[in-house]
């Protein structure tokens, strides 16, 4: 029997939950030959931002959103986002609470798992992350401000 994730709409077979698909995709991204780019970070942030709920700590949601912001607006690699997360947690102690909008997007993790090549899969992961960023549009300004904190801090160090 076919099921769907009630949050993102991903197609789930039999006994699987969306988290299983995430784990499957993480296996792909963590063993990806391009370690320098570290596409895994896009998956972590996109999945979290797409499934954000009040059971997840505000810091985690905020960092995921900052990650998507840095990718979409500043073309950061996964590795650069990972570094930004580390730096940001050093300067920021109180995290705003971001509440996930109800809107859904066309791309889900089950579509990504159907792709066969590295290039097609990486391409779809980027589209997915960009679309997830899009559903948060009402909160973009606040997220940009948070990301700006990191960028400003980085500028001061140079």
Chain residues in the site for Zn ion (CB under 5 A): 5, 7-8, 10, 18
Min dist CB 85 to Zn ion, Å, is: 22
Stated length of the chain: 158
Min dist CB 105 to Zn ion, Å, is: 11
Q: Which is nearer to Zn ion, 109 or 146 (CB)?
A: 109
- The span from the CA of 132 to the CA of 123, in Å, is 14
- The span from the CA of 4 to the CA of 18, in Å, is 8
Min dist CB 54 to Zn ion, Å, is: 16
Q: How many CA atoms lie within 13 A of 82 on its CB side?
A: 13
The DSSP code sequence of 45-112 is: HHHHHHS--TTS-HHHHHHHHHHHHHHHHH---HHHHHHHHHHHHHH--S-------S---S--HHHH
Q: Which is nearer to Zn ion, 5 or 52 (CB)?
A: 5
Q: Which is nearer to Zn ion, 48 or 65 (CB)?
A: 48
Q: Which is nearer to Zn ion, 10 or 132 (CB)?
A: 10
Closest to 3 (Cα-Cα) out of 154, 148, 108, 153: 108
Min dist CB 115 to Zn ion, Å, is: 17
Q: Which is nearer to Zn ion, 5 or 129 (CB)?
A: 5
Min dist CB 31 to Zn ion, Å, is: 22
């Amino acid at each position: 029997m076919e099921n769907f994730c009630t949050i993102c709409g991903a197609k789930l077979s039999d006994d699987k939950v969306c988290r299983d698909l995430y784990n499957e995709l993480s296996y792909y991204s963590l063993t990806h030959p391009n370690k320098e780019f570290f596409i895994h970070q896009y998956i972590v942030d996109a999945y979290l931002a797409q499934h954000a709920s009040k059971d997840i700590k505000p810091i985690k949601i905020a960092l995921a959103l900052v990650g998507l912001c840095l990718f979409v607006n500043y073309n950061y690699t996964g590795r650069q986002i990972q570094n930004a997360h580390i730096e940001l947690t050093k300067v920021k102690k109180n995290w705003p609470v971001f509440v996930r909008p109800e809107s859904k997007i066309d791309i889900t993790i089950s579509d990504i798992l159907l792709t066969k090549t590295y290039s097609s899969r990486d391409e779809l992961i980027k589209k997915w992350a960009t679309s997830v960023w899009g559903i948060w549009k009402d909160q973009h300004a606040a997220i940009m401000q948070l990301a700006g904190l990191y960028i400003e801090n980085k500028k001061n160090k140079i």
